[in-house]
Amino acid sequence: MAKMLIAILVSFVSVCAAANEPNATSVPDPFKMNQLLGRGVNLGNAFDAPTEGEWGVVLQEEYFQVVKDAGFSSVRLPVRWSAHAMTTPPYTINPDFMKRIEWAVNCAVSRKLPIMLNVHHYGELYANPAAEKERYLALWKQIAEYFKDYPDTLVFELLNEPQKELRAGPWNEQLKESLAVVRQSNPNRTIVIGSAHYNQIHYLTLLDIPKEDRNIIVTIHDYFPLTFTHQGAAWLSRGDPNDWLGTKWTGTEDEKQEIIRDLDFAAAWGKKNNRPINLGEFGAYEKADMDSRARWTKFMADAAIERGMSFHYWEFCANEFGLYNQKSKTFRKPLLEAVLPPK
């Protein structure tokens, strides 16, 4: 009898120990994961460029430590996988490029820095969703299987800013299919999904996510008003951004209410649908004056946090929006203090 009791006790202890293992199969709470993401920053203009370095950023390991030491909670890693994969079946991702992305993920994970890994700038999919769907799903199958054994602090974002011909209808179809592909190898990983029409807030009403999958964070992007945040931005196709040069953001009540209305809408949608919200991109272009940029950025960041959202500022170290000057290896202090409370 004594031996039987000991055996039962040992079995019980083993089960409890297994349940407390970090790689146990319990599904993470997406709200807690969203809190872990907290105040984050995009490591942009590197892997989302056609080739790394083409847009002025080559990621360095030291950047991850700089981000961590500054006090950021997480990073978002935009990746243009479509520029590094075969265009015919089986759509194999270049192994050297995959290793480079793995290096970046490891730089974050080794520093206990949660990281959001996405599919970014997939122009072919935006232009022709039906023709490109098979390739898109094949890319996610490879990415998901490659990183399936990574800790929960690696989260996947299915697609940055669905746009153009990838409207709400086809995107809702493809997000379900890509989510199912990822779930085959990553049943418990937190997934990030945004709406069609560039992840704009008021298109949340058109987003259709499988209700049974609760381990999802919903992302939004907010660069409004564009006449301020994108003044002088040559790549913008709306109007003539040069006509907006000199636009300031002084923090009047009307200016603040424009942001509050949008973020309140997103927060209310999240509450109604029981989904945590991430503000995945926001920032003001360098041609705006620094005082206005810092003022707008701080109001946006603080308003998101007050509403229980996480955020990722766009972005870390490129000239156009960057917080960090690569040459001097110093932060642009007004912007840094806008997104992070001063230590």
Rg (CA), the chain: 21
**53 contact partners, CB below 8 Å, separation of at least 6:** 46
Closest C-alpha to 117, from 95, 96, 138, 139: 139
**104 contact partners, CB below 8 Å, separation of at least 6:** 43, 47, 59, 77, 115
Alpha-carbon gap, residue 317 to 283, rounded angstroms:
13
CA angle 319, 330, 301 (to 5 degrees): 70
- Indicate which residue of 21, 54, 132, 161 is catalytic: 161
Name the residue with tokens 């153009």. Answer: 164
- Confirm whether 161 is a catalytic residue: yes
Alpha-carbon gap, residue 87 to 204, rounded angstroms:
32
Distances (CA, A) of 249 to 8, 246, 257: 68, 10, 13
Contact 248, 289 (CB under 8 A): yes
- Token couple for 135: 């390739």
Contact 283, 315 (CB under 8 A): yes
At CB < 8 A and 24+ separation, what contacts does 206-210 make? 206/168, 206/172, 207/168, 207/172, 208/168, 208/172, 208/175, 208/176, 209/175, 209/275, 210/176, 210/179
- Indicate which residue of 52, 62, 258, 281 is catalytic: 281
- Confirm whether 253 is a catalytic residue: no
Phi, then psi, of 260 in degrees rounded to 5: -60, -45
Residues catalogued as catalytic: 161, 281
